Amino acid sequence: MLIASWNVNSIKVRLPQLLNWLAQAKPDVVCLQELKCETELFPFDALGEAGYEAAAYGQKAYNGVAILSRLPIENPVEGFAGEEGQARLIEATINGITVLSCYAPNGQAVGSDKFAYKLRFFEALRRHLDGLGNSGLPLVLAGDFNVAPDERDVWDAAKCAGDIGFHPDEHKALKRLTDWGLVDSFRLHDARPGQFSWWDYRGFGFGKDRGMRIDQLWLSKALERRCKSARIDVEPRKLEKPSDHTPVLCEIE
């Protein structure tokens, strides 16, 4: 089962690119983030014509998450206790696997109220996982976590140190979350530095390859040995008017 995650940064703007990518990459399951549309405006019909069921949890102009699947989507659940009124998590069962699509807060600025919310969000998400069970549960936590896990995942660790996305408090929060029993699917197969999923629109970030790997597919221990490959597909970021993120993928046996 090929699982992908992509922060599309507006489903309305990016729908043609998404449909083309689905036809080419043929993922079985796709977790989307930053829909920037209300649930009733989500393009269920267009995606259905492309062969995908969808469960979406939207919000006007901001946030929003969805799960697409070529397999039946069972028991979709919108939201969790830590969102504080923002559409940031949707989960469902697909082929016996619990799949969560997550859009973590950006945090805006270190020390701000939004940064404090980001840290609360990670702690609440850990509590949510605790409520689901333990890492013996087949589970994929996919999404834009707005944190680069380590120095390999940023374009310049010295220059990024202490900034949003690469701050010690964020690293502690991410570790606390993943200590539930999650493994980074990408790092199971690729140890190279400089493999990014996001590049800032500002300052020609993509052209200069000044990026960060802030999008991840985290797997429970139950799925670790079943993960046969993982990669980042940079091609969609090369398109005209792209999302600032690009898809990340892993294959589960």
**Positions marked active-site:** 103, 144
Q: How many whole angstroms separate alpha carbon 193 and alpha carbon 9?
A: 25
H or E stretch covering 240: none
**C-beta separation of 128 from 85 below 8 A:** no
**C-beta separation of 199 from 209 below 8 A:** yes
Q: How many whole angstroms separate alpha carbon 6 and alpha carbon 247?
A: 5
Phi, psi of 7 (to 5 degrees): -85, 105
CA 251 centroid distance within chain: 15
